[in-house]
Amino acid sequence: MKKIYLIIIFILVTNCSIEKVSKHHGIYHLENKHQKLILSKTNKNDIISLLGPPSTTGTFDNDLWIYVEMEKSNTSLFTLGNKKIIKNNVLILEIDDKGLLAKKDFLNIDKMNDIKFTEVTTSNIYKKNTFVYEFLSSMRQRLNDPLGKRKKID
């Protein structure tokens, strides 16, 4: 019986690693690579050879290229394997009609935390006592109860 316990403990100890496992998504070393891009000199082919194809292109404008780099690592054993974001970099490139780099924006995790979102909410202009509401609710009631036998619900 002691041999079984020793084998189980040996397997557990040999499979544990001291170094944290990190998962990487996107372009490696985006911080260093974006510095090699020169405005009005770097063209589309240079960008593709340096960074590869973009992670995302602009929805309305095909000359907006977005590159992403994210690295997550496991936290300590006490947090039960939750992941912590180590790197979260985004590179936004705008290319002009000649195919040259017109603008580049590099956002790292610190700049993303500084982005402020508005707290304002849109008010509802819709009111129950309008003519359209009354008309549509009566039509709904007639469709649901054509003979008028059910109780009226507002």
Q: Give Cβ neighbours of residue 22 (< 8 Å, ≥ 6 apart).
A: 71, 72, 73, 74, 86
- Joined tokens for residue 148: 């008028």
Domain ranges of the chain: 20-121
CA atoms within 13 A on the CB side of 97: 0
Per-residue pLDDT of the chain (154 residues; tens, 9 = 90+): 777 877 777 676 665 556 667 788 888 989 899 899 999 999 999 999 999 999 888 877 768 999 999 988 877 666 666 778 888 899 999 999 898 999 999 988 877 666 677 788 777 666 666 777 778 888 888 787 777 666 655 5
pTM for this one? 0.60
pLDDT of residue 91: 92
pLDDT of residue 68: 92
